[in-house]
Amino acid sequence: METTLPGLALFYGGLVRKKNVLSVLAQCLEFTGLVTILWWAFGYSLVFGKNFNNPFYGGSEFFFFNGVTSAPNIDYSFWVSQNVYAMFQLMFAIITPALIVGAIAERVKYTTLLIFIGCWMFLVYFPMAHMDWGITGFMNGIWNSNSTVKAIDFAGGTVVHMTSGWSALVLCLILGPRLGFKKEPMPPHSMVLCMIGTGMPWVGWYGFNAGSAVGADIIAANAFTTTTITTATAAFTWGLIEKIFRGKASVLGFCSGAVAGLVVITPRLRFCECDRCSDPRRGGRGSSLSGRVKTENGAWVRRCS
């Protein structure tokens, strides 16, 4: 979180106009405070509790971190302290609404955005996280044998990327284009900040992906390796395609490819082995295609077979 959040803030700060940089940075930082309070008070329990016996909301037994101690919660791990696990999951809760900021930067008032994010956490993030990761979740194909949909999301492809992505798209459609769009130039403020803001989340992403193994084991090692190869391949491919079709590669293209690679690999890390899906014969090809198709169409995910 120490690298991902400030990195994301710098990434967005570099892409917006100079007059809006501080606004974007403030929004990312304020989300951290708001979401942390909500997570401590209600969120962790609504996601990882179970006394509601509900497929959409967990329970109330952990409200205000009641009973969240250094003892493990054996529903999710036999060796990691529950308070450590709660803090780890807080990273996902913080970064998800922050991802929405980039889509609506320069178009929403600060107070309005805080109110929206507060409501969004209860209506979208908490239920979706429980559905996917909660022990009684509607789509938890790993821990809930009675789940209706047998989904397996290793590190947040549904909970983080899809919820923030679809929400951002809906907000864009509601708000419409920026004032002056197509009438005045709106170049990115600083590609230097954008590049730094890509490298920092890349490092922080190892915490999300490898950390989702909940242990220093072969799964974490595989996630670490696969994340590196996929992201590097996607970044290189995006720049190469820009060079071929536009005559020159750009820093923004490299950064966009890296982010695309991180997103594409996140949900399937547990199921891609480095010698099958992430080598140049399999995963390398998937990473390259993710960069290419995302360049043209916006988003793409390829399953490993």
The closest of 100, 149, 93, 98 to 125, measured between CA atoms, is: 93
Average pLDDT over residues 1-17: 84
Confidence class for position 292, pLDDT limits 50, 70, 90? very low
Chain-wide mean pLDDT for the chain? Answer: 84
Residue pair 259/195 in contact (Cβ under 8 Å)? The answer is no
The whole-number pLDDT of residue 52 equals 95
Strand partners, 81: 72
Question: Is residue 91 a part of any domain in this protein?
Answer: yes
**Which among 141, 170, 187 is the end of a domain?**
187
The closest of 209, 46, 61 to 128, measured between CA atoms, is: 46
Give me the number of domains the chain comprises. Answer: 2
Question: Is residue 273 a part of any domain in this protein?
Answer: yes
Instruction: For residues 173 and 29, state if they share a domain.
Output: yes
Residue 302, CA distances (Å) to 7, 84, 260, 268 in order: 26, 32, 12, 9
Q: Assign 3-state DSSP to the chain and report helix, strand, coil percentages, each to 5.
A: 65, 0, 35
Instruction: For residues 130 and 176, state if they share a domain.
Output: yes
Between CA 93 and CA 126 the distance in angstroms is: 8
Question: Is residue 304 a part of any domain in this protein?
Answer: no
Between CA 44 and CA 46 the distance in angstroms is: 6
Strand partners, 151: 140
Between CA 40 and CA 60 the distance in angstroms is: 12
Instruction: For residues 204 and 99, state if they share a domain.
Output: no
Instruction: For residues 249 and 279, state if they share a domain.
Output: yes
Average pLDDT over residues 62-77: 93
The whole-number pLDDT of residue 243 equals 94
Instruction: For residues 37 and 145, state if they share a domain.
Output: yes
Token pair 């008070």 is found at 41
- Span 238-286, pLDDT tens digits: 999 999 999 999 999 999 999 999 988 888 776 666 555 444 344 444 4
Instruction: For residues 178 and 272, state if they share a domain.
Output: no
- 244, with CB counted inside 10 A (0-12, 13-18, 19+), is exposed
Question: Is residue 305 a part of any domain in this protein?
Answer: no
Q: Is 176 helix (H, G, I), strand (E, B) or coil?
A: coil
Between CA 235 and CA 168 the distance in angstroms is: 23
- Structural domain span for residue 244: 1-16+192-299
- Span 130-161, pLDDT tens digits: 999 999 999 987 778 888 888 878 888 889 99
Between CA 244 and CA 164 the distance in angstroms is: 32
Q: Is 72 helix (H, G, I), strand (E, B) or coil?
A: strand
- Span 31-59, pLDDT tens digits: 899 999 999 999 999 999 999 999 999 99
Question: Is residue 73 a part of any domain in this protein?
Answer: yes
Burial 137-174 (b: 16+ CB within 10 A, else e): bbbbebebeebeeebebbbbbbbbbbbbbebbeebeee
Between CA 299 and CA 289 the distance in angstroms is: 11
